[in-house]
Structure 1
Amino acid sequence: MPTTPPQRDLSADPRPRTGRVRRRAAALVGALALSALVTSSLVAPADATPVQPAAPVRPSGPAHPSAPAGPSPAAKGPDLGANVTLVTPDQPQDEVQARLDAIAARQIGNQFGPERDAILFAPGTYGSADKPLAFQVGYYTEVAGLGRDPGDVVINGTINVANQCDAASGCIALNNFWRSLSNLTINPAGGTSCTPGTEFWAVSQAAPMRRVDVTGATTLMDYCTGPSYASGGFIADSRLGAVTNGSQQQWLTRNSTVGTWSNAVWNQTFAGVQGAPAQSFPDPQYTTLPTTPVSKEKPYLYLDARGRYRVFVPKVQRDSTGITWANGSTPGTSLPISRFFVARPGDSAKKIERQLAKGRNLLFTPGVYGIDRTLHVRRAGTVVLGLGLATLTAEKGVTPLEVADVAGVDVAGLTIDAGAKSSKALLVLGQGHRKGPKGSTKRNPTAVQDVFFRIGGPHVGRARTSLVVNSDHVVLDDIWAWRADHGEGVGWTVNTAATGVVVKGDDVTATGLFVEHYQRYNVVWTGERGRTIFFQNELPYDAPDQAAWRHGSTLGWAAYKVGDKVRHHDLWAGGSYIYTNVDPTLHLTQSFEVPENGGVRLRDLVIVSLNQAGTIDHVVNGVGPSVAPNPLGGSSIAYLRCFPVC
């Protein structure tokens, strides 16, 4: 095994699947290809990794002047419950290590269980070069620093996500969902002979990294075991040195700084990232925007200098680049915890709704909440924040959460599950274009950050639509809407869901939109001047035949549909993949369907046929190449640089 990651473009490697379960063992050819990669010392071709500036030099300890010099004061405020583990610098490291290892042991294999955890580090330094603090992050686990800025919490060690290994599937990261890392500094230390001084974050969807400062190497694949596949992730407001993308098939990095980045694979996207590879799609497959048009970082919990809990709400940014904390603290507003209702598992929807009616913000502590009546957010500026991927489960066919036509709301850090009785939607923003209270505005937009929707998986779930955006000027930042392809309650007539995301509002911006397996259009966008930076999609696996998956003369339903009357819309870096394992003969006419009026522009598109099942006839509107099952196994891939013209 090499002691440094391989630097070779893996764009030809197939994405592994078998049977109905999406994230499973690779075709043998793919496994052999990646095995050869990780056991060799091959050097990448000269053009595989663009030349990057050297990684910046950063401090090894707390950098923010408000960081306590000694042990942190005890946290002052409400009890956050048994599912929150508060770590302080004065706790013996052996004790801390044991507690974190116990959480990992419970959560690493817990893909659909009810357990939820938040591991919160008080300001200070943990571990050392001689005795690093190193631990794994499993399902439904949030790891976060409680400082005002990332430099206030320093980990000398690693916080890793590794491949999941079993005899049937080998070792892959395609199922490494539902976890997060934020607001701290990592000085990578320790590790095995394969992993010295490297932060491993081998994840797929719904596993964001935010506000993290990694002073050494980072890898987005676990190259110590094979075949090492991973599929899709999100980094924002972070500063990283050398990054090995490796087998990550698609990824979005936004408003960050990187030293180097290796390997493009299918679709690597950068928006407002200092040090990013130059625009070069499709050879290699880098999509690079110099700035992010609009962004609003996720609110976060922290401890002030007196040890009191507060929630910080970052300020909206426009045409921005780099991290928000480069020249001091992130700009924004600090809210005392006293302005929040701290919800705990077992609290009824009626009780939570009553607190919202009083004008309180919401902090959901880790757990699963049965929501049998809609929670209404009616006050401008309300923050609804989940810890430990807190999960709202629809009951009685309700819509769990609705936001009125008000400005400046943040909904962040939640998983929202459909229930057995079908809901019209799982989250609705605004009531649409009508007279009434002024809603989300350009100056004060509503934002949805790290919110993940599930139709099936842990249990039977049904919903017509997962996310409906009626308001204008909304920011959608890292959304995964998933009609389950594996788990419990899965089947064409079982976990029914027509559309993942519907956008009717104007001037809506999505940065990181993952929408998968819905039975009709996966995304329908009818609002004007919409913008999507990075779209990742898989079409439904389980349509029983072509008659069940077509409308009129059109075969299947496009992944991304822009309304026929829309005059202006922009999409950068769109990927759509087909794998119809129930009927491998199925065709899709096109993955993208848009009006042809000169004002709707698509750039850097990729389509893929996976593992000899399913054909996409065209990329967009009957234009572009097709992808069909590869007779040699693995995947077939096609690209379209732009539509209608470059």
Structure 2
Amino acid sequence: MHFALLLPAALAVGHSSALSITLTPEPNPPDFGPNVFLLNPGTEPTDVDKRLEQIYETNRDWSFYSQFGEHRTAVLLMPGSHNLDINLPYYFSVIGLGRNPGATVVMPGVWNVGLRVDEQQNWMACNTFWRSIENLRMAMDNVDWFVSQGAPLRSVIIDGNLTLSGPAPDWSSGGCIANSKIQGNISMGTQQQWYTRSTAMYPYPWSAGAGSYVCVGCQTIDGQPYANSYNWDADRAQSSHTGLSYTDAPEVFAEKPFIFVEGGKYYLRIPGVTNSRWGPDWESGSTVSFDRVYVARSDTATATAINEKIAAGVHVVFSPGVYILDRPIVVNHAGIVLLGLGYATLVPSFAGGALVEVGNVDGVRLAGLMLQAGPTTLATEALLRWGSEGSTYAGQPGNPGFIYDLVARAGGPDFSAVGTKYFVQINNGWVIGDNLWLWSADHCSRNAQARCIPQRYVDTALEVNGEHVQMFGLSAEHTNKDIVVWNGEKGSTMFYQAEFRYTMGLKSDPGSWTNVSRSAGYRVNAFDHKAVGFGVYAVVAPLADTSVMEPIRQDGGMLGIVVKHPATYTFGMKDINCKNWNSSWPVESKISCKAWSDSSGTCLDLEVG
């Protein structure tokens, strides 16, 4: 059956401007495929429990298959009350299907644990990645969420306390809470760093030691905004590391799109753009029927089919799976949503270009995807490129582009050398990121220590050339050259975590080494730039297997922050930390300057821990 639709460019219900398109409606309800579990409330999902328990037992530890396998899982919970016990393993998401978090309630099941990530018999949580909970309420006295990067709690209500790490010496290293309400106390434990945004909560109980805790647009439980920690007219005294920062609400923002169910039909909710909003937003936005949402499955979908849907103005939901793509995903239609479930992973098999390309269009939202580098022989330029190189497209403050919960990865599961020039390159203006982890792997399929064979080759994690680009919750690690390069004016980053790479590369292949000169953890060539809550680290040089790998060395040492204009650092950067985890390392193997001025060729700030 075909029918004619009058649809706006963004496919949002209730707008008057429209264009005429003839579309074949997508099935509603859709077929999400075998990696999605749909659970109804009020039933005992015995068979499902057994299957979920098997997934957990197979995929919880640090073994190759568990950590770097192709398993991907999403549990979708129908609105209502559920008695459920799930300990989330790798590549696993639990998502409520209500119009708001309160519509789907999870209480503990027969094992009396509810939803959690505990120690899972691993010796620390610093390697607990790639799992998430979204759009539901946890009616629990305490929620254990012992995670590090790539593991957000988003749009959740927690009735009780939230514990973010196991007991010492368990070590955990970062995470994200966004658009939520935590009604009990938060225990940080050994968390080195943490990013929170637009959440109603009690204050962080203490400041981070060597790391950073940053709360953007947060409010107290009774709805009062937390005071901004900084005066932007103050001088460099506020650049010193504090480990605890509260900042104003984002001037422009929109929450992550999500799926809800009503009357047996599925809908895509696209939250509206808000200005300087404190605390969670669970109400604003527009609704699109799944008649106009293509559900891609890794066992059937092709890049050609996905691109045809996008060109026709149809949104795309990627079911959990690994998608090997023979051409880029191209978005040249305004307002398109690309939403991944259960860490849906896109991998290029074609030469050159970018894996995902967004053109000069407004309102595009990319969410919940893992983008993975292919073999170096492909010469991939970027995993995500927003606007062509040299673009002057300014974007729209009333309808920005958004990136949510993005993982970009090079290395890990691969048995040949992999890489990309950039993980993410943003050439257009008004693009906003929320919880990005751009990771050149520090451990891979053949080892679990401080070297990776085969090698990963990533020049730069993020390059920003457009104006008004903002990052909220950015982690980027182990690139061969500068980790982040920021050229566009009027940009900002609220929370940043970075690690320099561990080694130069294979002793047997010195020709592959790059950047023996000084590289930067965060290089800003723009003048007008704001930054809060940074942790830039040099971590494990002596742990590398020096019989195989050449230890990291750069003439004069690495540089934490590099600015072109000294005033950018003096007035624009607050709560900045650069740390060497072993001060006895030789100078060429550690950070030697916290903030460097390219224009004067001098170190502006020597304060390195």
TM over 0.5: yes
2:208 is aligned with 1:254: no
**Is the aligned partner of 1:357 residue 2:357?**
no
- Is 1:618 aligned to residue 570 of structure 2? no
> 1:397, 1:419 within 8 Å by CA — same for their partners in 2?
no
1:194 maps to: none
Output the CA distance in 1 between the equivalents of 2:358 and 2:454: 30
Deviations 1:11-55 (A, max 9, x none): xxxxxxxxxxxxxxxxxxxxxxxxxxxxxxxxxxxxxxxxxxxxx
Residue 361 (structure 1) shift: 1.3
Q: After the TM superposition, which of the residue ranges 148-157 and 584-593 deviates more from structure 2? A: 584-593
One-letter amino acid matched to 1:446: G
What's the counterpart of residue 643 of structure 1? none
Secondary structure of 2:593 counterpart = coil
How far does residue 517 in structure 1 lie from its aligned partner after superposition? 0.3
Q: Please point out which of 573, 576, 593 is paired with 1:605.
A: 576
Q: In 2, distance between residues paired with 1:390 and 1:446?
A: 20
Would you say the 8 A contact 1:251–1:268 is kept in 2?
Answer: yes
The answer to whether residue 522 in structure 2 is matched with residue 560 in structure 1 is yes
Alpha carbons 2:134, 2:153 under 8 Å: kept: yes
Pairwise CA distance, 1:497: 0.9
Equivalent of residue 271 in structure 2, options 288, 310, 314: 314
- The residue type paired with residue 228 of structure 1 is D
CA contact (8 A) 2:177 2:196 kept: yes
In the alignment, is the contact (CA less than 8 A) between 2:501 and 2:552 conserved in 1?
A: no
Aligned partner (choices 47, 54, 67) of residue 111 of structure 1: 67
Aligned: 1:89 with 2:44 = no
* Residues 244 and 395 (structure 1), Cα distance of their counterparts in 2 relative to 1, 3 Å cut: same
Tell which deviates more after alignment, 527-536 or 482-491: 482-491
Code of the residue aligned with 1:136 in structure 2: it is: N
CA–CA distance in 1 between the matches of 2:573 and 2:458? 26
How far apart in 1 are the matches of 2:527 and 2:204? 36
- 1:220: which partner in 2? 164
For residues 283 and 411 of structure 1, what CA distance do their matches in structure 2 show? 33
- Between the aligned partners of 1:87 and 1:324, the Cα distance in structure 2 is 26
One-letter amino acid of the structure 2 residue matched with residue 578 of structure 1:
A
Distance in 2 (CA, whole Å) between partners of 1:516 and 1:484 is: 8
**Equivalent position amino acid for 1:229 in 2:** W
Structure 1 regions of 5+ residues with no counterpart?
A: 1-74, 128-132, 189-196, 628-637, 639-646
Moved more, 577-586 or 530-539: 577-586
Query: Partners of 1:274 and 1:414 in 2: how far apart?
Result: 29
Contact (CA 8 Å) 2:176, 2:473: kept in 1 or not? Answer: yes
**AA at the equivalent of 1:256:** T
**Number of residue equivalences:** 524
Using a 3 Å threshold, how does the CA distance of structure 1 residues 323 and 540 change in structure 2: closer, same or farther? same
Q: Deviations over 1:78-107 (max 9, x none)?
A: 111110000101422544543432332232
Match of 1:475 among 432, 440, 447: 432
Letter in 2 for 1:292: P
Structure 1 CA distance for aligned equivalents of residues 72 and 102 of structure 2: 26
TM-score (norm 1): 0.77
Matched, 1:210 2:154: yes
Cα 1:299–1:540 change in 2 (3 A) is same
Aligned-partner residue type, residue 609 of structure 1: N
Kept in 1: contact 2:259–2:269 (CA 8 A): yes
Q: Report the alpha carbon displacement of residue 597 of structure 1 after superposing the two structures with TM.
A: 5.1
Q: Which of 564, 577, 583 lines up with 2:537 in the alignment?
A: 577
Greater Cα offset, 490-499 or 378-387: 490-499
- Structure-2 residue corresponding to 1:234: 176
Aligned to 2:132: 180
**Does the Cα contact within 8 Å between 1:481 and 1:515 map onto a contact in 2?**
yes
Give the alignment partner of residue 80 of structure 2, picking from 94, 118, 124.
124
Give 1:150 shift. Answer: 0.4
2:459 equivalent among 472, 489, 498:
498
Distance 2:355 2:513 in 1: 29
After TM superposition, give the deviation of residue 390 of structure 1 in Å. Answer: 0.2
Contact 1:539 1:578 in 2 (8 A): yes
Question: Secondary structure, in 3 states, of the residue corresponding to 1:454?
Answer: strand
Aligned equivalent of 2:214: 269
Q: Deviations 1:273-325 (Å, cap 9, x if unpaired)?
A: 11369849868521111322332211111112x12111111112222211113
Of stretches 599-608 and 513-522 in structure 1, the one that deviates more from structure 2 is 599-608
Deviation at 1:575, TM superposition (A): 0.9
Distance 1:257 1:147, change over 3 A: same
Q: Determine helix, strand or coil for the equivalent of 1:572.
A: strand
Q: Distance in 2 between matches of 1:273 and 1:125?
A: 28
| Equivalence for 1:388 | 342
Residue 256 (structure 2) aligns with: 298
The answer (yes or no) to whether the contact 1:378–1:405 under 8 Å persists in 2 is: yes
Please tell me whether the aligned partners of residues 228 and 248 of structure 2 are also in contact (alpha carbons under 8 angstroms).
no
The answer to whether the aligner puts 1:159 opposite 2:115 as a matched pair is yes
Q: Is the 8 A contact 1:481 1:514 kept in 2?
A: yes
Residue 493 of structure 1: how far off its partner (Å): 8.0
Distance 1:408 1:283, change over 3 A: closer
2:169 alignment partner, SS class: coil
**TM-align CA RMSD:** 2.4
- Residues 11-26 of structure 1: pairs in structure 2 closer than 5 A: none
Which amino acid counterpart does residue 578 of structure 2 have in structure 1?
I
Structure 1 residues 97-126: Cα deviation after superposition (integer angstroms, max 9, x where no partner): 434323322321311000000001000101
1:35 corresponding residue in structure 2:
none
Match of 2:498 in 1: 537
- The superposition leaves residues 489-536 of structure 1 with CA deviations (integer Å, 9 ceiling, x where unpaired) of 864882111000011000001001111000100101100101110110
Distance 1:354-1:550 versus aligned 2 partners, 3 A rule = closer
Pair 1:335–1:596, CA change in 2 (3 A): same
> Would the aligned equivalents of 1:575 and 1:605 in 2 still touch at CA under 8 Å?
yes
- Rounded to whole Å, the distance in 2 between the matches of 1:278 and 1:432 is 36
Letter in 2 for 1:238: S
- Listed as ranges, the matches of 1:391-540 within 5 Å are 391-398=345-352, 399-420=354-375, 421-431=378-388, 434=391, 440-459=395-414, 460-488=417-445, 491=452, 494-540=455-501
Shift of 1:617: 1.0
CA distance, structure 2, for counterparts of residue 356 and residue 149 of structure 1: 27
- Looking at structure 1, the residues matched to 565 and 260 of structure 2 have their Cα atoms a distance apart, in angstroms, of 48
Q: Which amino acid aligns with 2:429?
A: D
Query: Which secondary structure does the structure 2 equivalent of 1:317 belong to?
Result: coil
| Cα distance in structure 1, aligned partners of 2:326 and 2:557 | 38
* C-alpha contact (below 8 Å) 2:421/2:458 kept by paired residues: yes
Superimposed CA distance per residue, residues 452-509 of structure 1 (whole angstroms, 9 cap, x where no aligned partner): 1011111142111110101101001111111111113864882111000011000001
Q: Which residue of 2 aligns with 1:140?
A: 91
3-state SS of 1:619 partner: strand
Change (3 A) 1:334 1:112: same
Question: How much does 1:76 deviate?
Answer: 5.1
Name the SS for the 1:335 alignment partner: strand
AA in 2 matched with 1:620: A
Contact 1:407 1:439 (C-alpha < 8 Å) held by counterparts: no
Q: Whole-Å Cα distance in 1 between the matches of residues 192 and 149 of structure 2?
A: 11
**Compared CA separation, residues 549 and 494, structure 1 to 2 (3 A):** closer
